[in-house]
Structure 1
Amino acid sequence: MQEFTNETIDLENLPKYQDVVLTAPNPKYWNVIVINLSIILLLVGGGLATLFYLVDDEKPNPLYLLAGYLLFSALLFTIHRLSFKKRGYALREKDIIYKHGLIAETTTIIPIHRIQHVALDEGITSRSYGLATLQIFTAGGQTGHIHIAGIEVEKAKIIKEALVKRLDLLENLTAEQ
């Protein structure tokens, strides 16, 4: 029987995930974000314009509405741009790190042994730029899943294969014990 210990851990000697150099998304991914945002804003703008012309009540000055819409659009693009610059990921020996967010910065660290499934997603816009989204699903439910967008397809395939190989290795080690 193993002797029970419960020693205090010196927090200063723990490895610091903040020191890990993260890989940023491919700069071409910004084009994908711009295209997707533009499509959404055009659809919303078209819907608002249709609604504006269908309403028979007293209408506000359309220049004010247009100025508000353009200001909202500029704010949306600025927030997405700043958020884009904060994204990053790193594949380490025992885990994968993903950091994102502008106002609420989130850093997710998933141990390799918690990964259940790895998928590669290429959206229509991303595919035209040779980019993909790496989806990593864990046993911990929705909160543990991460989607790392803006990775070159070939690099995403390499990461996926590396994760799958590590999962197979861990599964084989567990089966032997």
Structure 2
Amino acid sequence: MQEFTNETFDLDSLPKYEEIVLTSPNAKYWNVIVINLSIILLFIGGGLATIYYFIEDDKPKAIYLIAGYLVFCALLFTVHRLSFKKRGYALREKDIVYKSGIIAEKTTIVPLNRIQHVALDQGITSRSYGLATLQIFTAGGQTGHLHIAGIEVERAKNIKEILLRKLDQIENLIENQ
């Protein structure tokens, strides 16, 4: 019978995830974000214009609505641009790391043995730029899932194949034990 041990870790000797070199999304993914945001903002602008048109009493001055809408659009694009620059991922031997966020940076590290399913997704806009989103589903529920957008299709397929091979290796190890 194996002897039970419960040693403490020297936290300074553990690898630092902050030192990992992350791969940024493809630069063309910014175009996808801009197109998608523009479409959404066109619908919002059209809706606001329609509402403004049907208001009969006390119409606010159109210049204030337009100025407010343009400020909102500028802020939205600025936030998305800053967010785009902060994104990154890394595939390591035993896990995959994804970092995002502007004000509150979020780093998700998913051990390969927790991955249950890997999928590729391509929206209409992403497909036209040759990009895909790598979706990694884990055993930990919704909080552990990763959606890494802005990866070239071929690279995403390669990462998916690598992950699937690693999953097969892990499964074979478990079966042999």
TM-score range with shorter-chain normalisation?
A: over 0.9
- Separation in structure 1 between the aligned mates of residue 176 and residue 169 of structure 2, nearest angstrom: 11
Amino acid at match of 2:92: R
Task: Return the offset for 1:130.
Answer: 0.3
> SS where residue 47 of structure 1 aligns?
helix
The Cα shift of 1:110 comes to 0.2
| Deviation for aligned residue 1:4 | 1.3
CA RMSD of aligned residues (A): 0.5
Report the alpha carbon displacement of residue 55 of structure 1 after superposing the two structures with TM. Answer: 1.3
1:136 match: secondary structure = strand
> 1:129 corresponds to which letter in structure 2?
Y
Shift of 1:7: 1.4
1:76 paired with 2:76, answer yes
Deviation for aligned residue 1:56? 1.1
Partner of residue 157, structure 1 = 157
The sequence identity of aligned pairs, in percent, is 76
Query: Where does the alignment leave 5 or more consecutive residues of structure 1 unmatched?
Result: none
The alpha-carbon deviation at position 39 of structure 1 amounts to 0.3
Greater shift in the superposed pair: 56-65 or 155-164: 56-65
Give the C-alpha shift of residue 20 in structure 1: 0.6
Distance of 1:149 and 1:36 partners within structure 2: 13
In structure 2, the residue matched to 1:102 is: 102
Residue in 2 that maps onto 1:145: 145
Give distance in 1, aligned partners of 2:153 and 2:7.
45
Residue identity opposite 1:27 in structure 2: A
- 2: CA distance, partners of 1:64 / 1:75: 16
TM-score, length-scaled by structure 1: 0.99
Equivalent-residue separation in structure 1 for 2:6 and 2:123 (angstroms): 49
- Shift, 1:8, TM fit: 1.5
Q: Structure 1 residue 3: deviation in Å?
A: 1.0
